[in-house]
């Protein structure tokens, strides 16, 4: 079985986000970019499945500008066998990503497609559900445990839902999206970073895949959240009650 993993290049989670002066979006120039953390977890899960002898190949795919290849190389250094880069000059919305993925699935024929539950830049949490819908495949979203049965061609997925865990069985091929507690992604070792340089990356244009890169969304404005006012330390409970009564007017 082949596993396809969608990995997205995003602003590193540790970077303090700055809004562009013209408020058209978030500043990405001269900012550290990394693989989306949930995509690292998706790739780690695919590698573990392969190491357990349940899959033969792990293919990492990304969509976006030329520098997204860095993210693919990170994926290859973690252990993916090969990469696919679909070049696009601009940011893609989840529905377009899902349509591109659908075409790649038709070309590659994987038995399992693993995505992050969300990208930490747009926080959409849509792509996995959309691609499952487009393909008509079962989906196990917010996975915190995945067990594959190769014989029965079934994946058992524990999902993190409000107030607990839900366990579902999916017939393969299926789509899984990963939650934080699924695993601890590995670091790429130096020898593997060197090896990754010679692993193949296939490039496609959206025209070659016959998908129109478009968006029905228009970003009107991006603004920073209002700054929090500094707190005050009060000397007594009486003072607190007085402020709640006479300043905040909440009691
Ligand atoms: P989102 O729906 O935007 O929150 O993204 C959810 C997941 O979809 C991500 O964790 C990735 O696995 C995948 N994804 C979204 N955008 C891209 C992209 N441009 N390239 C590759 N994978 C993507």
Which numbered atom of ligand 1 lies nearest the CA of 91?
19
Give the residues across from 89 on adjacent strands: none
Residues 126 and 119: their CA atoms lie apart, in Å, by 9
Q: What does the pLDDT read at residue 192? A: 96
Q: Provide the 8-state DSSP code for 181.
A: G
The phi, psi pair for 239, rounded to 5°, reads -65, -40
> Average pLDDT for residues 30-52, to the nearest whole number?
97
Q: Which residue has the tokens 């996975």?
A: 143
Probe target for ligand 1 pocket from 116, 117, 134, with the most ligand atoms within 8 Å of CB = 116
CA 70 vs CA 21, 30, 76, 123, 133: distances in Å: 27, 15, 10, 21, 30
Structural domains present in the chain: 2-226 (3.40.50.620)
Percent of the chain with pLDDT over 70: 100
CA 231, 237, 242, 245: dihedral to nearest 10 degrees?
80
> Average pLDDT for residues 17-36, to the nearest whole number?
92
Res. 107: pLDDT tops 90 = yes
Output the CA 86–ligand 1 centroid distance in Å: 13
* Summary mean pLDDT of the chain: 95
Res. 228: pLDDT tops 90 = no
Q: Is 114 in the pocket of ligand 1 (CB under 6 A)?
A: no
Q: Are 35 and 196 in contact (CB under 8 A)?
A: no
Three-state secondary structure along 203-238? EEECCCCCCCCCCCCCCCCCCCCCCCCCCCCCCCHH
Probe target for ligand 1 pocket from 41, 94, 103, 119, with the most ligand atoms within 8 Å of CB = 119
Specify the pTM.
0.91
Beta strands (DSSP E) in 119-186 are: 139-149, 154-161, 164-171, 174-178
Give the β-pairing of 174-178 and 112-116: parallel
Q: Nearest Cα to 6, choosing from 49, 35, 48, 30?
A: 35
């Amino acid at each position: 079985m082949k596993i396809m993993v969608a990995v997205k290049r995003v602003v590193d989670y540790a970077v303090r986000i700055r809004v562009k002066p013209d408020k058209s979006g978030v500043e990405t120039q001269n900012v550290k970019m990394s693989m989306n953390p949930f995509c690292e977890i998706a790739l780690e899960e695919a590698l573990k499945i392969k190491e357990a002898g349940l899959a033969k190949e792990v293919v990492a795919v990304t969509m976006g500008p030329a520098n997204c290849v860095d993210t693919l190389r990170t994926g290859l250094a973690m252990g993916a066998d090969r990469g696919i880069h679909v070049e696009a000059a601009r940011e893609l919305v989840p529905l377009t990503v899902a349509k591109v993925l659908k075409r790649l699935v038709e070309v590659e024929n994987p038995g399992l497609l693993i995505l992050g539950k969300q990208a930490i830049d747009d926080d959409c949490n849509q792509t996995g559900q959309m691609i499952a819908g487009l393909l008509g495949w079962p989906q196990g979203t917010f996975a915190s445990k995945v067990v594959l049965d190769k014989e029965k061609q079934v994946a058992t997925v524990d999902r993190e839902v409000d107030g607990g865990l839900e366990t579902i069985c999916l017939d393969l091929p299926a789509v899984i999206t990963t939650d934080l507690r699924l695993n601890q992604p590995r670091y790429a070792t130096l020898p593997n970073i060197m090896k990754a340089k010679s692993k193949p990356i296939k490039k496609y244009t959206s025209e070659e895949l016959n998908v129109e890169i478009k968006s029905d969304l228009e970003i009107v404005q991006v603004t920073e959240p209002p700054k929090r006012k500094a707190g005050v330390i009060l000397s007594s409970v009486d003072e607190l009650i007085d402020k709640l009564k006479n300043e905040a007017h909440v009691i």
